[in-house]
Amino acid sequence: MKRIITLLIVMFAIALQAQTTPGKHSIKNLDVNTKLSEFSVAKYGEDRIVFAAPSEEVTIVRRVWRENNQPYLDIWVGDIDSTGQIINKRAIEGDVNRKLHDAVVTFTKDGKTAYFSANNYNDKERSIRSATGFDNIQLYKADVAENGDWINVEKLPFNSDEWQTGLPTLNKHETQLYFVSDRPESIGKTDIFVVDIKPDGTYGEPKNLGPKVNTEEREMFPYISDDNILYFSSTGHPGYGNLDVFAVKIFDNTISDALNLEEPINSPKDDFAYFIENEKHKGYFSSNRKEGKGDDDIYSFNEDEELYIECLQTVRGVVRDRETKELIIGAIVSILDEDGNQLQITASHEDDASYSFDVPCNGTYTLVATNEGYLKYTAKVKTINDLGAPVIEKDIEMANEFISVGDELLVNIDIIYFDFDKYDIRPDAALELDKVIEVMNKYPELKIHATSHTDSRGSKRYNKSLSNKRAKSSVEYIISKGIDVSRITGEGKGEEELVNECIDGVECTEEQHQLNRRTKFRVVEEIKVKQEQ
């Protein structure tokens, strides 16, 4: 629409993988619309909406804007009724809605601070013009008083009289402010920028979002949702004509490709100022499409099918025997999310024992591998929040269930250690005991004998008692997990069987003493069966 394009021109001085699917919407033109221009909503608390519309006070001081023969814009607030309509429209009061344009707002979540766009004024509310004669739009911040008035209005420090700066939106954590400008770093006619808001309330240097978002034409009206999807309007990305609404996902260091939201959000006319409540799957946008009421209208929508922009990262590797390094073909490998839900499952490939998963970025996962004759393997993997992140190479090395040491057959787990002068089960020891339980559940006739040891510090009598307590705590842990008491026994050896030279009178490090504070698990029945396997 020519008039909104004119308005915007005056206001602004004129790998890895991403899976994307546009959302589907049903839309409704709102009763608040008139033959004039209403656009650009922002949520104000749970049940109010702020939007831009022409002033109702046209005086000799507040003249009609010559570009569209409509009054200058004011910031309005309305209530949201049960059907999503905006009712009880009234102008924001306080130190705003001056004689020229005030429009396009974003709020902090507590509703106590508003960022908004307005013409460039000095302290005496007189217009400031650039060297080329433009009254450029600037970004302002205001405090919202308890009575709803906007007070203590201040201009943000990265404005300039020489270029346009406006159309703000805050990220979820209110640590970044996105805005539109034609400042010298722009790629096109107007670009979207982001600036960091520091903990002390100061601002960093504005950064251009780059060519994934910005083109040689106009990018405008950004809105960033809580899941870090940036919605914006553009005349430069391929679309239906004039301004279309697009979406990109913002990652830590990268941005996805722009996705056109398609019909009915977009049309051959101007479609812009998209806002969505992700959890409620509803929102508002603005358009001057021909079926509207005259000029720019506000439309509500319900998102019938969710927008999908997801970063995926590959986790892959091969499965081997931990001791021999031989490849294990056909091992079952799965990957679980943080809640333990299985996301994908596969078998190590028959050619090279490889596996591969594609999982969402910025997540923590658990790899699980099982194979006959081997202990279950588990390991944590973490993906990062970026497209193009390197593949995570994670080889799986599986341990045999049993290992022969001399004339003993032991359950093949990592050695269980104890803290000095303690016999309680440490978290790392519990993980190993769970492997013993796994083997005993797999072989119901299997019986195990636990042998616990101490270091040499303390008397032999005391260490004998301490090692018995360690054996008892190990056995009790296993029994507590459902293993019958008749299948597990234990004894303490004190300091009789040290694994190093740290006897009485020899000075050793804590790490050397730790090696002696241990428990091992010996198979006492079914030895022949296990050895034949």
Domain ranges of the chain: 2-306, 311-398, 402-532
Tell me the sheet residues that pair with 249.
229
- Alpha-carbon distance 511 to 529, whole Å? 37
Angstrom CA distances, 47 to 39, 144, 455, stand at: 18, 16, 68
pLDDT digits (tens, 9 = 90+) for 105-136: 999 999 999 999 999 987 767 789 989 888 89
Q: With beta carbons less than 8 A apart as the criterion, state whether 265 and 271 touch.
A: yes
Q: With beta carbons less than 8 A apart as the criterion, state whether 416 and 424 touch.
A: no
Angle at which helix 460-480 crosses helix 427-442, to 10 degrees, equals: 60
CATH architecture, domain defined by 2-306 = 6 Propeller (2.120)
- Alpha-carbon distance 344 to 424, whole Å? 37
Q: What average pLDDT does range 211-219 have in this prediction? A: 97
Q: What average pLDDT does range 88-115 have in this prediction? A: 93
Percentage of the chain lying above the pLDDT 90 cut: 72
Q: With beta carbons less than 8 A apart as the criterion, state whether 116 and 167 touch.
A: no
Range scoring the smallest mean pLDDT among 65-74, 259-268, 387-396: 65-74
Strand pairing class (332-336; 73-80): unpaired
Residue 67, classified by CB atoms within 10 Å of its CB into exposed (0-12), middle (13-18) or buried (19+), is: middle
Residue 94 three-state SS:
strand
Selection from 87-101, 328-342, 517-531 with the highest mean pLDDT:
328-342
Q: Taking 60 as the threshold, does the pLDDT of residue 516 lie above it?
A: yes
Stretch (H or E) spanning 155: strand 150-155
- Alpha-carbon distance 30 to 304, whole Å? 19
Task: Supply φ then ψ for residue 418, to 5 degrees.
Answer: -125, 155
- Alpha-carbon distance 119 to 72, whole Å? 10
pTM over 0.85: no
Specify the higher pLDDT residue, 17 or 119: 119
For 311-398, CATH number out of 2.60.40.10, 3.40.190.10, 3.40.50.2300, 2.60.120.10 equals 2.60.40.10
Q: What average pLDDT does range 47-57 have in this prediction? A: 89
- Alpha-carbon distance 231 to 222, whole Å? 6
pLDDT digits (tens, 9 = 90+) for 292-342: 998 899 999 999 888 888 899 999 999 999 999 999 999 999 999 999 999
CATH class for the region spanning 402-532: alpha beta
